[in-house]
Amino acid sequence: MSIEIREIGIDLLPLYSEIPESFRVESVFRIKLIDKGLGGFRFIEEKVSPYVKWDERYEDDSGPASWPKRFNIGNWGIFMAFKGFQPVGGVAVAIDIQAGMTTPFESEGTAILWDLRVHLDERRCGIGSRLFKYAADWARRKGYRQLKIETQNVNVPACRFYAKQGCVLGAIHRYGYAGLPDVAHESVLLWYLEL
């Protein structure tokens, strides 16, 4: 069955929220400093005891259905992939980000890949690549020159995926989640795609 990608409105965000964003962590990229960082960094992939990250149903009101209450998403591009009538993936591109949601790494011409998810049963079928390309093309048509993506060193499959899509690792923030006890051990990895 073919996949159709459609732009959606806020009325379909509860349906978008039903697509799981969880992933299985089986290895992590340890960031090794060379000469205390002056000589650069080296990623070392290490196996870990497997666990599932983000295996929840947004009981804390933080999922996609809450975006309109938390952010001004009127200009965002939000798209879903459907297989027939069944939602199998989604992607959101944030533009015109309000103050406090950006980092010093953004420029005015940067759009942010806010969310990308594919249903567990449909992964490794090319849906993620199609959604990513659709989002990048949408941002390009809107006049953006760069797409920024945030992931973590514990999401090795996502890192490999973004590299395969043509993104380059632009920044590593080893202490980016230091104030969040549950994820303080993770590092922020910022990927960029030139549009």
**3-state secondary structure (DSSP) of residue 83:** strand
How confident is the model at residue 98, as a pLDDT? 54
User: Any residues with CB less than 8 A from the CB of 10 and at least 6 apart, and which?
Assistant: 67, 68, 73
CB 167 within 8 A of CB 149: yes
Taking only the tens of pLDDT, the chain with its 195 residues reads: 699 999 999 999 999 999 999 999 999 999 999 999 999 999 999 999 999 997 555 555 678 998 999 888 999 999 999 999 999 999 999 997 654 454 544 567 899 999 999 998 899 899 999 999 999 999 999 999 999 999 999 999 999 999 999 999 999 999 999 999 989 999 999 999 999
In this prediction the pTM is: 0.90
Give, for 129, the enclosing helix (H) or strand (E). Answer: helix 127-141
For the chain, which residues make up each domain, given as ranges? Answer: 3-194
Give, for 33, the enclosing helix (H) or strand (E). Answer: strand 23-33
How confident is the model at residue 107, as a pLDDT? 62
How confident is the model at residue 106, as a pLDDT? 55
User: Any residues with CB less than 8 A from the CB of 134 and at least 6 apart, and which?
Assistant: 5, 79, 91
How confident is the model at residue 100, as a pLDDT? 46
- Write out the two tokens for 176: 């980016």
Determine whether domain 3-194 maps to CATH 3.30.420.40: no
Distance of CA 44 to CAs 29, 35, 79, 188, 195, Å? 5, 16, 35, 16, 29
